[in-house]
A and B are shown apart, each in its own frame.
Chain A
Amino acid sequence: MDTRQKLEILADAAKYDASCASSGSKQTRRGSQIGSTEGMGICHSYTPDGRCVSLLKILLTNYCIFDCTFCVNRVSSDTPRARFSVDEVVQLTLQFYKRNYIEGLFLSSGIIQNADYTMQQLTMVAKKLRSEHQYGGYIHLKTIPGCSDELIHEAGRWADRLSVNIELPTQNDLKQLAPEKDSTQIVTAMDTVKTRIDETKADKKQGFKAPSYAPAGQSTQLIVGATETPDATILQTVTSLYQDQRLRRVYYSAYSPIPHADARLPGMAPPLVREHRLYQADWLLRFYGFSADELFSPQQQNLPLDIDPKLAWTLANRDRFPVDINRADREMLLRIPGIGSRSVGRILQIRKHRSLSVADLKKLRVAWKRAAPFVITTDANPSLKLLDSLQLKQKTSTERQLSLFDAIDSARSGEV
């Protein structure tokens, strides 16, 4: 099998992985001849699914001894198999990088032989790129749960980011769909990475020249919609990942139909709107001071599909509005629908010099339609009277007035 055929199979096998970020590394490695990791990530292309191509995202091999139902590479799938050699991946990465096609490498793998062997192979690719080719671009390695700590330590020396996929939000879901995966092993692997990152930081603080260790931190991915687990449970798991494991990112991947799908799973289009709402909620957790509990009620354990989670929270907490743009504290400004954290920063800055009007807010490019009924400005804001109206939800929803049925349609078409 030639490299092109392998690439076809092993890129195809990686296309369900949502992660694509290439940012977050502190600086380019010293002595690099090819490649840098400065600034924010660059997306070199976009595919028709609207997702960016920033990294060469491939599997080292799609042979796998596991039988996770949702995965196209599970052992019981009849998907065509291939395996790259370490050198093939090294050469592909360098050749693509030199032509400025990619920002780096995201290497994952099916589990072959055992966890240690697989991890060794992944690490060898990164080590070769760094030490034999002075490659300074981004490298994201997927950590294989169950491999030894030494291998995780070695991997972090060469990689910018490590990730361990949690795949499913609860132990029960794992038992159901990924019987060979063990949530304790996954969390242990995350702990190992976290501890090592902390140690490196502490060493640097004390003035030691510690070799860099996964400078872009660690991330994970979980699959949404393959089981019945509601959003509330998912976001509770995620909250503890952010707090306890200090993950940089959690990626949500709508369970997507796969060729060679296991008959035990229903064939369906991926729940893209749900995935989108989870990303919005994730944002609220990380940058807007929301807690997972606030976004749900005992009756409502899933995020609404027809409106974004911030607006949904606002509608359920009308009594806390309207908010005076010129007086409210940062925490409350962050809770106004249609106003992002960057705009909040600007509002606070401008407020020191002069007070803000409706026109000013529009210039700051806030989503005025959503924000209007909830804010007091220096001038008259006729939309304020909507706050007590029964039609508040319809009036503040997106321009297209997404109804629940539209949401289902858009889940089908993929356009959010």
Chain B
Amino acid sequence: MQSRHVESFEDWRNQARQLIAAEISPREVCFRENSSQAELFGATNTPQEKLPAARPFRVDRKFMQLADRVVCHRDVDRYDLLYRILWRLTHGEPKLMQVTVDDDIYRASMMEKAVRRDAHKMKAFVRFCQVETESDREKYVAWHEPDHKVLRLIAPFFARRFRGMDWTILTPDESVSWDGKQFAWGPGVPMSQRPRADSLEELWKTYYASIFNPARLKTKAMKAEMPVRYWKTLPEAELIDDLIRKANTRTESMISHREGVAFTAERYLPEDLTVESFQAGLAQCDACSLCEHATQVIAGEGPVPSRLVLVGEQPGDQEDLVGRPFIGPAGQILNQALQDAGIRRDEVYLTNAVKHFKFEERGKQRLHKRPNVSEVTACHPWLQAEFLLTVPRVVVCLGSTAAQAVLGRGFKIQTSRGQFFSGPHDCEAIATYHPSAALRVRDVKRKEEIIRHLTEDLRRAAEKAKA
């Protein structure tokens, strides 16, 4: 029995070649690494026996691929195992590599698999930290503890991936640096000397916490893929416990908190639509929660049918108390604009996209609050019914809420004001400013401009309705 010391894969390969040539069977030889472990058995003192030069011979390429990875495994018997397989391949079993259920091949392939997985995890879990340098190139350093000695397998991958970047990977066994051109190998480094935290880590943790969906907790699956032993170098790992702990509560609140409306006003629509049945149905509507606080529901007013229909956003404070649309301050402005445009108010039908007043109480005041999309959606069937009743030739949408209710959600007043579009039931629709816009601006010039546009758009709508 001879004991042979191996420095590296290349070294083992040379020795194995010579041993095969000398017909030394696996039973007569054992390989040991040149490490402290070997010294324990006092083997280092035995002088290495000289071997005759070997003639080159061919062996299944699969074996070389396997061996290249198996040598990275920490198992002390790996060189012996590889030599035994090599012996069998060259002594009557040339197809051995294909018999993957053979004991030796199976064991080697298990080792190969462990190394491959460890290498793959290293590609994934190396985390670079940016470090200060004097040069103008950015420099990144990572500390990682692989299960096996895979740094040599992996370094070329990182060089291809981060070609234009200076980086160093430290492991307890060895370290390697890349400067954009070549590798520099160095000694191992303990965890205590790993680089300090990177300023980007907070941002990364924010991402990690946000991309996790608490409704799908599967901690077992997570730990299988990201074993806990790697967590010490992953900045996001410190969030895991907290995320798991809160997942259930978060999911429950997701399920219990729903918004929008379960149904729309459609269920209150009378089958036989008349002005009377419309108003009777409207009076009962509770499709959204606005009905709970408003004083009363406010239907449109004006002749039925009507060639011109004006749609606003929703009733305001005074409208809510009196029960008629457009009688507050905005109504005054609208009245003036109608008059200037040569339109009699009692000749047009006036209504709102939402039929209840929405407000926020501030002291004694009830401040108007814009209806949200779900409320507009819930109320939409009433508006549709009003169009059916009035059969308008032209619909004027006052403000963006009305315009979006009539012309679709993408509609923008700023870009499409004053243009005619095809509206509901083959009528024409035009959008313009809501009269309350004139109340909100401080700038006198701007105020005049808004009123001028409003009046002009109303005049054009009226002309179109007459034609």
Contact = CB atoms under 8 A, between A and B. Distances in A.
Contacts of B106: 363
Contacts of B217: 48-49, 413-414
B191 interface: no
Nearest to A76: B373
B456 to A, nearest CB: 27
Contacts of A53: 208, 211
B206 A50 contact: no
Contact of B377 (A76, A78, A413): A76
B225 to A, nearest CB: 5
Interface centre among B204, B208, B261 (most CB of A within 10 A): B204
B219 interface: yes
Interface string B88-108: 000000010011110000100
B210 A99 contact: no
Interface stretch (A4-12, A162-170, A277-285): A4-12
B220 A50 contact: yes
B374 A76 contact: yes
Interface in A54-81: 56-58, 65-67, 75-78
Nearest to B377: A76
A269 B99 contact: no
Contacts of B410: 65, 113-114
Nearest to B224: A50
B257 interface: yes
Given A4-B202, A349-B98, A363-B106, A14 B215 contact: no
Given A52-B225, A257-B255, A353 B95 contact: yes
A53 to B, nearest CB: 6
Given A50-B222, A65-B409, A76-B374, A32 B163 contact: yes
Contacts of B204: 96, 99, 101
Given A53-B208, A353-B98, A100 B163 contact: no
Q: Which among B128, B198, B374 has the greatest number of chain A C-beta atoms within 10 A? A: B374
B63 to A, nearest CB: 16
A46 B216 contact: no
Contact of B160 (A28, A44, A262, A272): A28
Nearest to A360: B101
A49 B218 contact: yes
Contacts of A261: 254-255, 257-259
A286 interface: no
A316 interface: no
Contacts of B165: 33-34, 98
A262 B164 contact: no
A7 B260 contact: no
B200 A50 contact: no
Given A45-B208, A258-B254, A415 B220 contact: yes
B260 A77 contact: yes
A400 interface: no
Interface in B97-140: 98-101, 106, 120, 123-130, 138, 140
Nearest to B248: A413
Contact of A99 (B163, B200, B215): B200
B444 interface: no
A350 B208 contact: no
A78 B222 CA distance: 32
A75 B377 CA distance: 11
A113 B253 CA distance: 32
A352 B157 CA distance: 36
Nearest to B240: A48
Contacts of A100: 126-128, 142
B203 A92 contact: yes
Interface string B140-182: 1010000000000000010011111100000000000000000
Nearest to B218: A50
A354 B98 CA distance: 10
Contact of B120 (A12, A42, A98): A42
Interface string A253-276: 010111111111101111010000
> Interface size for chain A: under 10, 10 to 19, 20 to 34, or 35 or more residues?
35 or more
B208 A36 contact: no
A356 B98 CA distance: 13
A14 B210 CA distance: 9
A67 B373 contact: yes
B98 A3 contact: no
Nearest to A20: B211
A267 B100 contact: no
B204 to A, nearest CB: 5
A51 B211 CA distance: 10
Contacts of B273: none
B259 A414 contact: no
**In this complex, which of A42, A66, A67, A77 has the most chain B Cβ atoms within 10 angstroms of its Cβ?**
A42
A15 interface: yes
Contacts of B296: none
Given A38-B160, A48-B222, A50-B220, A267 B140 contact: no
Which residue of A7, A356, A364 has the most chain B CB atoms within 10 A of its CB atom? Answer: A7
Contact of A48 (B163, B247, B253): B247
Contacts of B218: 48-51, 414-416
B66 to A, nearest CB: 15
B75 to A, nearest CB: 19
B388 interface: no
Interface string A67-109: 1000000011110000000000000100110111100000000
B234 interface: yes
Contacts of B243: 47-48
Interface in A110-147: 113-114, 134
A52 B247 CA distance: 17
Given A36-B161, A49-B218, A96-B204, 5 more contacts: A7-B203, A53-B211, A100-B142, A261-B255, A263-B258
> 8 closest A-B pairs (Cβ-Cβ)?
A50-B221, A33-B164, A50-B218, A11-B210, A76-B373, A47-B212, A267-B255, A49-B216
7 contacts: A32-B163, A45-B234, A47-B213, A65-B409, A65-B410, A99-B140, A349-B98
